[in-house]
Amino acid sequence: MPGWDWNAFGRYLISGYLLEGAWTTIWLSVVVMVLGLLLGLVAAIMNMSKSPVLQGIAKFYLWIMRGTPLLVQLIIIYTGLPQIGIRLNVVQSALLGLSLNEGAYLSEIIRAGILSVPKGQFDAARALGMDSSTLMRVIVLPQAARVMIPPLGNNFNGLLKTTSITSVISMEELLRRGQMLIQVEFRVLEIFVVAALYYLVMITLWGMVQRRLEAHYGRSVAPATTTERRSTVAPDSGNGEGAATAVERREMEHDLR
Amino acid sequence: MREPVKQTPGTDPTQPVVEAEDVHKYFGSLHVLRGVGMEVQRGEVIVLIGPSGSGKSTLLRCLNHLEKLDRGRILVNGHPMGYREVNGRRVELREREVAKQRRDVGMVFQQFNLFPHLTALENITAGPIHVLQRKKEEAEAQARQLLEMVGLPFKAHAYPAQLSGGQQQRIAIARALAMNPTLMLFDEPTSALDPEMITEVLDVMLKLSDQGMTMIVVTHEMGFAKAAADRIIFMDEGRLVEEAPATQFFANPRHERTRQFLSKILH
Ligand SMILES: Nc1ncnc2c1ncn2[C@@H]1O[C@H](COP(=O)(O)OP(=O)(O)O)[C@@H](O)[C@H]1O
Ligand SMILES: [Mg+2]
């Protein structure tokens, strides 16, 4: 079936089947991001705790998640675990695998964000009688946000694309839907170009959202005064372009340590 | 104006606000506090002086348990700070309980440490709202009184970065006062300020001492010490070397170290 078929391309472009796949990609990314942030926050706090046990658990988690490919993690969860009696369906496996993986990377961003808040802020909050959770919620995380939002945004950008890996465990997100459509329609190029366009649209829209978020969180925190010197733990990696590749975001993560 | 200095219910006014006994503190192998003992009565203003590195900040930070003690004990309003005593042994309190104890002790830092993402008003209401669970309107009403008291009624909505150092420090004092503490700790509150801003901060502190606030102030502002201090304590190498009422302290220092130190800071 040689040649480019504009008609087919047009049909795929508005195909409900592919759009559903794109929607799955979006909600999967959002849910994973939320779960990943929670996991990442817990891991970051454990990693910074004085207890060697908590610290050990956090470090072990990061070591496993960042030391093995996501693909392997997903296959172990979906295909391997049933062998020992743990049966998760496709959606559960995808959510678990992606969230665990994402949480590990996000925890390093969160940790760098928390470390960027000057020690005097912790002292002042404690001196007012705040306990750790209040201190984090009211004082530290809002200040850390300014440092964290750009890399977190880039991470979400990467995540939108990374979800395509779950196609290997037959999660019906955009890529998988594309593959399935090809099996009936045999129009590889048209279908994959449509899928690629969908990804581009999602990434571009996210880039716009990200720029707004960065503007918002950069707003109230006026420039550091002479007495609020900030350490430079986290590089200001956000250019708002929202076009970092998965490799770039992994590398950026590396710099954060 | 502020309500009169609060008294912890059930404690008699003769109960010392601070009782420290044989306080020791190490940073690694560095022995920073070497057996500090002191007693501060309600309404007293103590000025703590001493060379850099003598342990003044560390002592203040032990008083509200920002630092743990290695030996000895500190009672604030009769309660062991940060610890509970079980069969004569001390057990460190859980974090939440320490946090509760700290409500009674206000602290003002050399570097102000205002929360940069919050306005002046929000800095002052942060404690009452998030620690004391006060209603927002109530906390703001009190915060406005405090802004008035520190002379910054028109800066409620300014962010710290928009304020001068002296203004920031006055907001920091208001922030600490918003918790209605029984004790205020000041760690070199004017050392980071340009000279022309020092007086505006000291004036607020004088006002506070006139209102009967119990205060421990680390400062080298001897003018303030003469005007406000009930006692001056000289600290050196982790020990309280000498203490005396202000007049006597300057006129007639007993120890050689004190004399040397005074000759350095008085000129
Ligand atoms: N967190 C810390 N870790 C290690 N050493 C410290 C720490 N804080 C203070 N020190 C050391 O303890 C000594 C006393 O410090 P400090 O209490 O700040 O003195 P001062 O306030 O009188 O200048 C100094 O030698 C200082 O370097
Ligand atoms: Mg000091």
Residue whose C-alpha is closest to residue B215's, from B178, B188, B185 = B185
Of A159, A151, A45, A48, nearest in space to A101 by CA: A159
Partner-chain contact A132 B109, CB within 8 Å: no
Tens digits of pLDDT across chain A (257 residues): 578 999 999 999 999 999 999 999 999 999 999 999 999 999 999 999 989 999 999 999 999 999 999 999 999 999 999 999 999 999 999 999 999 999 999 999 999 999 999 999 999 999 999 999 999 999 999 999 989 999 999 999 999 999 999 999 999 999 999 999 999 988 999 999 999 999 999 999 999 999 998 888 776 554 444 333 333 333 333 333 333 333 333 333 333 32
- Sequence-distant (≥ 6) Cβ neighbours of residue A228 within 8 angstroms: A118, A120, B111, B116, B160, B161
CB–CB contact A129 B179 (8 Å):
yes
Token pair for B60: 């203040």
- The residues facing B23 across adjacent strands are B36
Give the closest residue to A60 by CA, choosing from A70, A79, A78, A46. A46
Nearest to A122 by CA among B188, B181, B137, B67: B67
Task: Please say whether the beta carbons of B58 and B33 come within 8 A.
Answer: yes
Here the tokens at position A56 are 């050990």
pLDDT at B5 exceeding the cut of 80 = no
From chain B, the residues in CB contact with A141 under 8 A are none
- The ipTM assigned to this model is 0.92
**What is the C-alpha to C-alpha distance for residues A37 and A107, in angstroms, rounded to an integer?**
7
Contacts of the segment A56-59: beta carbons below 8 A, 24+ positions apart: A58/A107
B32 C-beta closer than 6 A to ligand 1: yes
Which pLDDT band, with edges at 50, 70 and 90, does B8 fall under? low
Mean pLDDT of chain B: 92
Measured distance CA(B146)–CA(B165) in Å, rounded:
18
Task: Please determine, for residue B82, whether its predicted confidence score (pLDDT) is greater than 50.
Answer: yes
Q: How far is the CA of A222 from the centre of ligand 1 (A)?
A: 31
Q: How far is CA A246 from CA A156, A209, A252, in A?
A: 10, 19, 10
Give the tokens for residue B210: 């006139």
Of A110, A170, A97, A190, nearest to A145 by C-alpha is: A110
CA-atom Rg of chain A in angstroms: 21
From CA B181, how far away is CA A78, in angstroms rounded? 57
To which H or E segment does residue A60 belong? helix A52-67
More confident residue, A216 or B116: B116
What is the nearest CA distance from A60 to chain B, expressed in angstroms? 26
Q: Which of B117, B124, B167 to mutate to test the interface with A (most CBs of A within 10 A)?
A: B117
CA B207 to ligand 1 centroid distance, Å:
30
Which domains are assigned to chain A? 23-222 (1.10.3720.10), 226-257 (no CATH)
Distance CA B61, CA B56 (A): 9
Tell me what pLDDT residue B11 has.
58
d(CA B133, CA B148): 23
pLDDT category of residue B266 using cuts at 50, 70 and 90: confident
Cα separation of B156 and B140, whole Å?
Answer: 10
Residues with Cβ within 8 Å of B27's Cβ and at least 6 positions away in sequence, in order, are none
Rounded to the nearest 5°, which phi and psi values hold at A130? Answer: -75, 140
Say whether B113 and A123 touch across the interface (CB within 8 A).
yes
Token pair belonging to A181: 């459509």
d(CA B42, CA B16): 6
B133 CB-near residues (< 8 Å, 6+ apart): none
| Backbone torsion region of residue B115, taken as left when φ is above 0, otherwise alpha when ψ lies between -120 and 50, otherwise beta | beta
Q: Out of B107, B130, B165, whose CB is closest to A134?
A: B130
Q: What is the mean pLDDT of residues B37-45?
A: 95
User: Rounded to whole angstroms, how far apart are CA atoms B200 and B219?
Assistant: 15
Average pLDDT value for residue range B245-266: 85
Q: Is B219 in the pocket of ligand 1 (CB under 6 A)?
A: no
Q: Among all chains, which residue has been given the structure tokens 């005593």?
A: B85
B52 lines ligand 1 (CB under 6 A): yes
Indicate the range of A45-54, B3-12, B252-261 predicted with least confidence: B3-12
Q: Which residues of B touch A124 (CB under 8 A)?
A: 107, 109, 113-115, 172, 175
Per-residue confidence band for B250, with pLDDT thresholds at 50, 70 and 90: confident
Mean pLDDT, range B130-145, rounded to an integer: 97
Q: Ligand 1 pocket, B56 CB below 6 A?
A: yes
Sheet with B214-218: list strands edge to edge.
B105-108, B183-187, B214-218, B45-49, B231-236, B239-244
How far is C-alpha B11 from the chain's CA centre?
21
Q: Exposed/middle/buried for B172, CB within 10 Å: 0-12, 13-18, 19+?
A: buried
Cross-strand partners of B24:
B34, B71
**Whole-Å CA distances, A18 to A3, A12, A158, A184, B224:** 22, 7, 20, 13, 76
Q: Which residues, in sequence order, are CB contacts of B8 under 8 Å at separation 6+?
A: B77, B104, B182
CB neighbourhood size of A65 (10 A): 20
- pLDDT above 60: residue B10: no
Distance between CA B75 and CA B71 in Å, rounded? 13
On whether the CB atoms of residues B204 and B185 are closer than 8 A, the answer is no
What is the structure's pLDDT at A252?
38
B-chain residue closest to A124, CA distance: B113
Which parts of A89-245 fold into alpha helices (H)? Answer: 90-115, 119-127, 132-134, 141-162, 174-185, 188-219
Long-range contacts of A57-65 (CB under 8 A, 24+ apart): A58/A107, A61/A103, A61/A104, A62/A104, A62/A107, A62/A108, A64/A104, A65/A100, A65/A101, A65/A103, A65/A104, A65/A105
